[in-house]
Amino acid sequence: MIPKELAAKALQEALRTGADLAEVYVEDVNSLQLGLEDAKLERAERGVDRGAGVRVFFGNLVTYAFTDQLDEESLLNAARAAAAAGTGRSTTQVIDLTERKSPLHFPIEKPFDSLSISDKAALLHNMDQSARAFSPYIVQVMAGYIELRRHVWIYNSEGLAVEDDRYFTEMRGSVVARKDETIQRVFHGFGGRVGLELLERNDAIATMSGLAERAVKMLDAQPCPAGEMTVVMCNGWGGVLFHEACGHQMEADFINKGSSAYTGKIGERVANPIITALDDGTIEGRRGSLRFDDDGTPSQRTVLIEKGILKEYMWDLVEARRAGRASSTGNGRRESFRHMPMPRMTNTFIDQGTHDPREIIESVKKGIYIQSMAGGQADIAKGDYVFSATEAFLIENGKLTTPLRGATVMGNGPQTLMQIDMVGNDLALDPGMGMCGKGQAARVSVGQPTIRIPNATVGGTDVAVSR
């Protein structure tokens, strides 16, 4: 995207006022978004965005400037702007930029242009039809398609030169069923760091009739009882609770600030010994996977909790330097060249357990089973959460019975992690629809096996849902 010589020149310029480390991040983004609403194509948008950011480190003081022009003058100006905070003289030289390759391969089997835009729009129309044909109770259908190529290059004055070419394909659908005054919305999405082979591996049309079936079934749901009770949570997308209510607190910025429940707890028991949890950015095809993070650090598999013991936090370059660590864990991520990286999760999940998921449900005399989560609200720095279920069932004497509406589960993430007392052997990552917000948007994956929380607080009324 820019010649290596220009990157080196910008780095030299950025070091001029006495910085000990400088970085140039270059990004080129191309996207296509299609959105179908009420059987009409409401959105067809091609996006192009490119630019560069220069980051300069004076010890723990970090400054940043960016430009959406990639010519030499603009880049050197950004370097000068970022360096302006310094008052010293250059004592650091740029080491030769030698390109490093990642051992990770995320192959794209079918490129985006292997289908035309009209083929892609036709698929959305077929998805719409499939949902509507299922039942006259279906009153609203939305379907969406996103393809995104985000190509990044990162150079720094220690000689780092890496690139990561990130392709994402995503499909989304939502269905609203209505009977009299009762309205039920369900949604689903799937995607990942893949090409159009996504559409061969997932049946988007069958997904929509499945959504319609689920929405109609939930029209007859009963109000959810409230109180303390046993909650069994589905595998896969259910892992969003761990991500939001526990995972964020293991991010190093919260740790260094001392605001996290996990600050200073490495080596201590923070969960039931049946729980192991990981953040793994190296899994092929996953939404949160990276060859290199946005600091240029190779992505890795990090065991956060091993058999209940807290083992590691998630670090980016800034927080690792602040803590005097030799290296980060490859968790530095940024929304775009307009942003500085911060510690973020990649693909985060509770690991495989030993219980048969049926056995977990059979163990509950009276409780609720959460089959799908709408998302919810969590104070990511403290871990207090309220999550709502789009689909839930009463468990009576070990069997799923009445469908329930308006089920919400609330609690505190670190406390819930101590309480979980059964973990299934059905680990699954979510189908690939997770977007994490922490000031900046980031694509992530979450996951877990079926889990049991023996004494969760269940609220019986609908709460506002935002995600």
Q: By rule CB under 5 A, what count of residues binds Zn ion?
A: 1
Coil vs helix vs strand at 206: helix
Minimum distance, C-beta of residue 144 to Zn ion, in the bound complex (Å):
21
d(CA 80, CA 69): 15
Q: Which is nearer to Zn ion, 196 or 436 (CB)?
A: 436
What minimum distance in Å lies between the beta carbon of 344 and Zn ion? 8
Write the CA distances from 148 to 111, 261, 328, integer angstroms.
11, 36, 27
Site string for Zn ion, 237-276 (x = CB under 5 A): ----------------------------------------
Interface segment toward Zn ion; rule CB under 5 A; list 19-27, 84-92, 108-116, 429-437:
429-437
CA distance between the termini of the chain = 34
- Of the CA atoms within 13 Å of residue 391, those in its CB half-sphere come to 19
Closest approach, Cβ 146 to Zn ion, in A, equals 19
Tell me how far, at minimum, the Cβ of 376 lies from Zn ion, in Å: 11
Single residue of 131, 436, 446, 453 touching Zn ion by CB under 5 A: 436
Q: How far is the CB of 233 from Zn ion (least distance, A)?
A: 17
Instruction: For Zn ion, give the closer residue by CB, 357 or 434.
Output: 434
CB of 429 to Zn ion, least distance (A): 15
- Binding flag, residue 378, Zn ion (CB under 5 A): no
Dihedral sign (CA 282, 448, 430, 244): negative
Ranges of H-type helices in 34-100: 72-83
Scanning the structure block, which residue is given the tokens 């061969």? 200
- DSSP letter for 344, please: -
Q: Nearest distance from residue 377's CB to Zn ion, in Å?
A: 11
Stretch that binds Zn ion, among 32-40, 181-189, 368-376, 434-442 (CB under 5 A): 434-442
Q: How far is the CB of 386 from Zn ion (least distance, A)?
A: 15
| β-strands 384-396, 366-378 pairing | antiparallel
**Torsion sign over Cα 194, 199, 201, 204:** positive
Looking at the Cβ atoms of 212 and 436, the one nearer to Zn ion is 436
Largest interatomic CA distance in the chain: 74
| 138 near Zn ion, rule: CB under 5 A | no
If binding is defined by CB under 5 A, does position 78 make contact with Zn ion?
A: no
Q: Which residue is nearest to Zn ion (CB)?
A: 436
Report the candidate in 177, 91, 187, 87 with the shortest Cα–Cα distance to residue 132. 177
With CB under 5 A as the contact rule, which of the stretches 42-50, 104-112, 404-412, 433-441 interacts with Zn ion? 433-441
Helix (H) or strand (E) holding 261: none
Is-contact 49 26, C-beta < 8 A? no
Q: Which is nearer to Zn ion, 154 or 436 (CB)?
A: 436
Interacting stretch for Zn ion, rule CB under 5 A, among 41-49, 60-68, 140-148, 436-444?
436-444
Binding window for Zn ion (CB under 5 A); candidates: 40-48, 114-122, 327-335, 432-440 = 432-440
Per-residue exposure over 27-40, b if at least 16 CB sit within 10 Å of its own CB, e if not: bbbbbbebbbbeee
Which residues in this chain contact Zn ion in the complex, by CB under 5 A?
436
